[in-house]
A and B are shown apart, each in its own frame.
Chain A
Amino acid sequence: AQKITQTQPGMFVQEKEAVTLDCTYDTSDQSYGLFWYKQPSSGEMIFLIYQGSYDEQNATEGRYSLNFQKARKSANLVISASQLGDSAMYFCAAPLQGGSEKLVFGKGTKLTVNP
């Protein structure tokens, strides 16, 4: 079964700088997907970006991009030009196992953007 590891409990970044949030996974499946969600203090979970294991290019969505390294089983989220509103918890997630609807989440990383 899938296991998601986020090793950074907290990260700090200066406004307008880029930051990388780490995520590694552990799966034996050949086909899988990886998700990143943002959870502000209000509690809602906001979908940010998705990477499929067979996607040839790293996913990008506005200021969010994924540094997907399949051989290393890592899918790090890169946020460029950080904004104060980016301060939140960030969760990496993936299906529990191949074809499963269920997602397993990492423990999350708390990002603080300093002015």
Chain B
Amino acid sequence: GAVVSQHPSWVICKSGTSVKIECRSLDFQATTMFWYRQFPKQSLMLMATSNEGSKATYEQGVEKDKFLINHASLTLSTLTVTSAHPEDSSFYICSARDRGLTQYFGPGTRLLVL
């Protein structure tokens, strides 16, 4: 149980385009989902906390207009990187929390902006 999927796993796009990443909890309902960013050889950096039916809470320094988060249902959250630039290239990974404390992670999305 506690499976989280993430799509796409890889995306390459041109500078200026927008990219949408989906995060789904497959076998449980997740009232809270989280979006992280990870640079090579570094730890995870929390970007935002996403609650179903309400606005996401962004961490300090994360541009909410740049990284749009929508948590439309108890099983789906989306992250849209708007007007992507090369500095947005990174590994983005989501997690979903079940009724307990444990966060279960998706497989991540590698974004490369040319």
Chain A residues near B (Cβ < 8 Å): 33, 35, 37, 42-47, 50, 91, 95, 101-103, 105-108
Contacts and interface: CB of A to CB of B under 8 A. Distances in A.
Contact of A102 (B34, B38, B42, B110): B34
Interface of B: 2, 32, 34, 38, 42-44, 46, 49, 91, 93, 95, 97, 101-108, 110
Contacts of B95: 45
Nearest to B103: A103
A102 B43 contact: no
Contacts of B91: 43
Contact of B107 (A42, A95, A103, A105): A42
A105 B62 CA distance: 18
Contact of A43 (B2, B43, B93, B102): B93
B34 to A, nearest CB: 7
Given A43-B93, A45-B95, A108 B105 contact: no
Of all A-B residue pairs in the complex, the 3 with the closest CB atoms, nearest first, are A45-B105, A43-B108, A44-B107
Nearest to B108: A43
B46 A102 contact: yes
A37 B107 CA distance: 13
13 contacts: A42-B107, A43-B38, A43-B91, A43-B110, A44-B105, A45-B95, A47-B103, A91-B43, A101-B34, A102-B46, A103-B34, A103-B46, A105-B43
